[in-house]
Amino acid sequence: MMPLLCFNKAHYPVTTLGPGRRIGLWLQGCVLACPGCVSQDTWTFADDQALSLPVLLTWCQEVALHGLDGITISGGEPFAQREALLALLQALHDWRDKAGLNFDILCYSGFSWRRLQRDFAPLLALLDALIPEPFQAQQPTRLIWRGSANQPLIPLSLLGQERYAPYLHHEVERRSFQLVVDDERIWGIGIPGLGDMERLEQQCAERGVQLGGVSWRG
Ligand code: SF4
């Protein structure tokens, strides 16, 4: 039986986590608890957030009709769901091959590069690029798509090499951030700089808007 994904959210188009117009998939569940994590809403492994792969794939195929350069998988800790992540990556590969598409697959992980190589090689073989290592709040960075300076961008395939080589050491002056508003919440897509969320909260408060239930505080 196909494993269910413990899932947080999906969005298209994502333009702040990898090159081009992308699908963003956020898996639910992380036990790493990096100090300073801005996505604490993704930590719990909630039974009521299970999603079947065919449902997700159908949605991906629909939005891809508008143009798709890549898929970014984040979390949470995607590799904490070994079987589900493997099934997801295999399904994305099948779709890409059969449809003759050229999107790349980038994945974030808070696990170390060494551990991923040792324990997750079959999954790495299905990725085009990877950003591993836990977020370290005391190592701020301007490196594009990275939260802290200890996080390398590692191409893992020919496509990954082609697409990501220009960005390995690329730094940005200002970080881009997408804001999405739905019926229940406002959420941001991208990598905020050190203190950005607190500044946002303070500026909202100065204008009389109190932010509640924020994901950057436990
Ligand atoms: S930064 Fe990523 S790996 Fe670290 S606690 Fe947050 S979700 Fe988990």
Domain ranges of the chain: 5-174
Residue 109 pLDDT greater than 90, yes or no:
yes
Output the residue whose Cα is nearest ligand 1's atom 6: 37
pTM of the predicted model, to two decimals?
0.95
Which helix (DSSP H) or strand (DSSP E) does residue 13 occupy? strand 5-14
Quote the DSSP letter at residue 34. -
Residue 72 reports pLDDT greater than 80: yes
Q: Are strands 104-108 and 70-74 parallel, antiparallel or unpaired?
A: parallel
The one-letter amino acid code at 146 reads R
How far apart, in whole angstroms, are the C-alpha atoms of residue 105 and residue 129?
A: 7
Q: Which two tokens stand for residue 101?
A: 């598409």
Q: Is 171 exposed, middle or buried (0-12, 13-18, 19+ CB in 10 A)?
A: exposed
User: Which of 6, 28, 77 to mutate for ligand 1's pocket (most ligand atoms within 8 Å of CB)?
Assistant: 77
Domain 5-174 has CATH 1.10.287.1080: no
Residues enclosing ligand 1, CB less than 6 A? 30, 32-34, 37, 39, 42, 75-77, 110, 134-135
Q: Is the per-residue pLDDT at 218 higher than 70?
A: no
Is the pLDDT assigned to residue 200 strictly greater than 90? no
Strands 50-51 and 5-14: antiparallel
Over 80: is that where the pLDDT of 112 sits?
A: yes
The residue nearest atom 4 of ligand 1, judged by CA position, is: 34
Q: Enumerate residues 6+ apart whose C-beta is below 8 A from 217.
A: 40
